[in-house]
Amino acid sequence: MTQSNVWLVTGASKGLGLATVRHALAHGFRVAATSRDAKRLQAEIGTGEDMFLPLEVTLTDEASIASAVRQTKARFGSIDVLVNNAGYAALGAMEEISDADVRANFDINVFGVLNTMRRVLPVMRAQGRGHIFNIASISGSLGMASTAIYSATKAAVIMLSESVAAEVADFGITVTALCPGGFRTDLLDKTSARHPERTITAYKGVHAVMDHFARLNGNQGGDPDKAAEVIIEISRMESPPTRLYIGSDALHGIEHKLHDVAQSVDRYWKISESTNFQA
């Protein structure tokens, strides 16, 4: 079980990150939280300096991440729980999204996670303990029209988490890829989601899905405060899950996906097996 005394949360100025910071503080934990705007973060939390450390961090800058880790360790003495929450969704038909926008989404959603883990792991290895939460998404397991790039980033986060979990288990460190369904955060807001600068009118089905997302925004079934409490509960477990889907829509989605994959594997078993060398 992780001694959950000191938390480091990225992308903490809104949404699930902000909820996690608030709940961790309410449980008496010390929290370092990162954002592109530390003043906004301080205004949102408004708590005493002895328990809370707001940090202005650019996740595309490894030196900025390293500085945040050093400051957290210097202030609180350890990093027991890392919550890699920072991320956003690049939405649209894959053909519509520019190379620069694709790379930018991977820079934050994947390399931001990877580089933050890389900087925190030496601290946790030295402690002989730690728990890392990487916020993925049900979209990392279910591909659908308009989410090709976002889904690809979150699939990478899931596999990165599972592989790193195997690498660090001997050090007393656990890793959980948290895969939420639709939660009432700003993920689909115009201030957060990124849409293509140019659209291709032929992709009517994709644009219909994006219109659905716009209507869904603010009406998602998931409660970020309840998700934050789940994160805290999982952090206290002796054997936490490596992958956890949260939200009823995520559960139904992965249930159907597993069923479809199992059917496909069974249907094409012979042709798949035919590629082996003959004994």
The answer to whether residue 221 sits within a structural domain is yes
State which residues form the domain around 100: 6-247
φ/ψ of residue 262, rounded to 5: -60, -40
* Lowest mean pLDDT, pick from 10-24, 207-221, 252-266: 207-221
- State residue 41's pLDDT score: 86
Catalytic residue, from 150, 203, 245, 268: name it. 150
Q: Measuring CA to CA, which residue among 37, 78, 18, 53 is closest to residue 224?
A: 18
Residue 190 amino acid letter: K
What mean pLDDT is predicted for residues 250-272? Answer: 97
Q: Is 203 annotated in the active site?
A: no
| Secondary structure class of 178 (helix, strand, coil) | strand
What is the band of 37 on the pLDDT scale with cuts at 50, 70, 90?
Answer: confident
Q: At 82, which CATH number?
A: 3.40.50.720
Q: What are the tokens at 271?
A: 């042709």
User: Going by C-beta distance under 8 Å and a sequence separation of 6 or more, which residues neighbour residue 232?
Assistant: 4, 23, 24, 27
Residue 264 amino acid letter: S
The answer to whether residue 20 sits within a structural domain is yes
H/E segment holding residue 232: helix 224-235
The answer to whether residue 137 sits within a structural domain is yes
The pTM assigned to this predicted structure is 0.92
Whether 259 has a pLDDT exceeding 90, the answer reads: yes
Whether 188 has a pLDDT exceeding 70, the answer reads: no
Number of domains comprising the chain: 1
The answer to whether residue 113 sits within a structural domain is yes
The mean predicted confidence, pLDDT, of the chain is 92
The answer to whether residue 257 sits within a structural domain is no
Higher pLDDT, 78 or 189: 78
The answer to whether residue 254 sits within a structural domain is no
The answer to whether residue 236 sits within a structural domain is yes
The answer to whether residue 268 sits within a structural domain is no
